[in-house]
Amino acid sequence: MIYILHVFYGLIMAYFGLISPGMLNMTVLKIRLNVGEMESIKFAFGAAFIVFFQAGIALFFAEFLIENPKVIDFLKMAGVFVFFILAIFFFMLSRKKMEAKHEISKGNYFFKGFAMSLVNMLAIPFYLGISIYLGSENKIIIEFPYIIFFIFGASMGSFLLFYTYIFFAKIISQKISFIATNINIILSLLFISLGIFTLIKLIS
């Protein structure tokens, strides 16, 4: 049961962490509309494949740092910092129109998803902050083999989110401006709330 919970937490964190319309989501949406469902699924697999390693790197560092008791308070403060940065990031996203930043050309769409996900610089700090928070709340165990189930869930959650964009492509494309603004505001408020909550627990 505990392994399933780690998969669940990884899936939920990845799904809602990526739900905001951004470069990857807008690109998979554009591929679905302009090229076809199968190619967009290939792109989604490539992008989700990289998430497995990004989450793995984040959990490796989290495990390494948490094993050193002297840096626990620093890690919790770092988690607060990450939450506030994410809150600002999503607030800024809510103020601009989101669209795919790259022209969609022919080629290996799995590799395109792989490459674009690889340069997503927000992924590792996001999973590091989330894992530190969940670990401090005793929701997940940041040690082998539990982290394998968590990062598997994160990869699965990423693909499910991309597939949500694929499945509802026509609806999302018609309402993208409304969705982007409201989703990003909600995520901004969520992360600033988590940051404040964690900070209060830290200083109390």
Q: What is the pLDDT along the chain (204 residues), one digit of tens a residue?
A: 888 999 999 999 888 877 766 778 878 888 888 888 899 999 999 999 998 998 888 888 777 666 665 655 665 666 677 677 767 776 776 666 555 444 555 668 888 888 888 877 677 877 877 887 787 777 888 888 888 999 999 999 999 999 998 998 888 777 766 666 666 676 677 778 877 877 776 676
Own/partner pairs, 136-143, CB within 8 angstroms, 24+ separation: 136/75, 136/76, 136/79, 136/198, 139/5, 139/9, 140/5, 140/6, 140/9, 141/2, 141/6, 142/59, 142/62, 142/63, 142/66, 143/63
pTM score, whole prediction: 0.71
* Contacts with 1 (C-beta within 8 Å, 6 or more apart), sequence order: none
Structure letter (DSSP) for residue 21? -
Residues 122-136 as b/e (b if ≥16 CB within 10 A, e otherwise) read ebbbbbbbbbbbbbb
Q: Is the peptide bond before 125 cis (omega within 30 degrees of 0)?
A: no
Rounded to 10 degrees, the C-alpha dihedral 20/61/202/79 comes to -20
